[in-house]
Amino acid sequence: MIAHTPTIFASVALVAITMVACLVIVGRFRREDGLFTIGCGLLAHACAYVCYTLYGHASLWISYALANTLLSTALAFYTASIFRIRTLPVPWLAIFSLPAIMALCMALLVETREPRMLVSSVVLMAQCGLIVLWAHRTAAPEGRAHHLLMIGGAVSLVGLLIRVLAILGGSVTDMRYDVSNLKQSISVSIGTVTVMTLSLGLILMAKERSESALRQLALRDGLTGLLNRRAILDRMIEEMERAKRSSTPLAVAMLDIDHFKQINDRFGHLAGDQVLGHCARHMGLRLRKIDGLGRYGGEEFLLLLPDTDPHGAMAVVEELRESIAESVVMFEGEPISVSFSAGVWCDVPALDDNADKLIGKADAALYQAKHQGRNRSRMLPCERVLPDNLSLPGYPWE
């Protein structure tokens, strides 16, 4: 089916303007979430296709040179949006160097025909290829929105390739913007698909980022940045089930900051908050990636050490305890000494063990540590004999 080419141009411009209006209506036209640059791209896209509709009725400077420069600018904004949404540094100079090249080439070649058509198509193809590349490289692990960007960029590459092949094949006249034929209809109609897939893909990417941030807020303690009580308990259940399946030991430690109430009473609650943050950062830097650390409640932390035998578990907890005791928290120029007591349970979880039961055992050991003077760690005896040939991942200080 052959469509009227200027009408297709007008349709693409209408779609782009509609997408901009939708962004404005929903009130998400903010710079920090990447949607501002998406909106700028859509406006440039719409203006470009309005200029295309004027081909044959306005000068080539407007209907071709300005139009292609605007379209190149739109693609540059789409590329920048990918970086903004993923909260990555935007290489503005590199991204917008292509629209600058497009503008320069159009100014030099506007009075030609084949060269200007070929150069404009090649520059736009390079930009579409970059969109596909960066959408793939910055894809979120569980995200799907980047697939729309890759599809939109790939479809645009097909449409531009049709133009390039027609130009190289000597059918330049068939690809004029005021000519209607099958190749032209297919090539130009792809612009509608491009606008919709690129803009929707970017908007959904921003939505995925917001949802990911909300999930992180739901799982993280706002003060320390550690896993909150619910999240660390979920992690503990996962580690228990894995330890049961593989018959490997799991160490569970309850850590309690000594005399925390006195710190709050003497220095104030802001100082107490600073102590909690200091301990969380200090311990987090000294644990393996497979270990789990969360704020269990108040001044208590729950530590999980998968694949760690009793000797290794005590070595880890003692190293943490000693390093905390040797550190000093400065609050308004005044030093605050900090220490913690720890209770440790380490064994291969039994089939009927659950999180409450194991935490209760670690709590019993913690009570012993406090009763014996604080700033020390205690472990309940193992209930099962661990194999002598157990090979476990070590720690940097061992």
Q: What is d(CA 353, CA 356) in angstroms, rounded to the nearest whole number?
A: 8
Q: Are residues 252 and 331 in the same domain?
A: yes
Residue-wise pLDDT tens digits, 63-93: 999 999 999 999 999 999 999 988 889 999 9
Q: Residues 58, 204: one domain?
A: yes
- Statement: residue 383 has pLDDT above 70: no
**Does residue 30 contact residue 203 with C-beta atoms inside 8 Å?**
no
Residues 201 and 275 in one domain: no
Q: Give the phi and the psi of residue 380 in degrees, each rounded to 5.
A: -75, 145
Averaged over 177-193, what is the pLDDT?
69
Token look-up 């157990």 returns 390
What is the C-alpha separation between 122 and 167, in angstroms, rounded? 12
CA angle 150–151–152, rounded 5-degree value? 90
CATH for 247:
3.30.70.270
Say whether pLDDT at 310 is over 90.
Answer: yes
Q: Which pLDDT value is given to residue 28?
A: 54
3-class SS of residue 296 = strand
Q: Is residue 134 part of a domain?
A: yes
Q: CB–CB of 151/142 below 8 Å?
A: no
- In-domain check, residue 385: no
Contact 16, 45 (CB under 8 A): yes
Same domain, 251 and 199: no
- Work out the burial of residue 382: count CB atoms within 10 Å of its CB; fewer than 13 is exposed, 13-18 middle, 19 or more buried: middle
Tell me the C-alpha distance between 275 and 150, whole Å: 47
Task: Reply yes or no on whether the pLDDT at 1 is more than 70.
Answer: no
pLDDT digits over 278-307, tens only? Answer: 999 999 999 999 999 999 999 999 999 999
Please tell me the predicted confidence (pLDDT) of residue 393. Answer: 40
137 is a domain residue: yes
Going by pLDDT thresholds of 50, 70 and 90, the confidence category of residue 331 is very high
pTM of the model as a whole = 0.65
Q: Which helix (H) or strand (E) holds 329?
A: strand 328-331
Percent of the chain with pLDDT over 70: 87
Same domain, 37 and 150: yes
162: containing domain: 5-219
pLDDT of residue 387 exceeding 60, the answer is no
Please give the Cα distance from 394 to 382 (Å, whole number). 20
Distance CA 285, CA 319 (A): 12
User: Does residue 309 share a domain with residue 261?
Assistant: yes
Q: Catalytic one among 111, 239, 299, 318?
A: 299
- Tell me what pLDDT residue 392 has: 39
What does the alpha-carbon distance between residue 209 and residue 87 come to, in Å, rounded to a whole number?
Answer: 9
**CB environment 346-380: b (16+ within 10 A), e (fewer):** bbbbeeebebeebbebbbebbebbbeeeebbbbbb
- pLDDT value of residue 21: 78
Q: What is the mean pLDDT of the chain?
A: 86
Does 150 lie in the same domain as 38? yes
- Number of other CB atoms surrounding residue 322 within 10 Å: 13
> What is the number of domains present in the chain?
2
299 tagged catalytic: yes
Mean pLDDT on 53-63 = 90
Last residue of a domain, one of 219, 254, 285: 219
* Least confident interval from 24-28, 174-178, 309-313: 24-28
Which residue, 219, 244, 263, sits at the end of a domain? 219
Residues 14 and 93 in one domain: yes
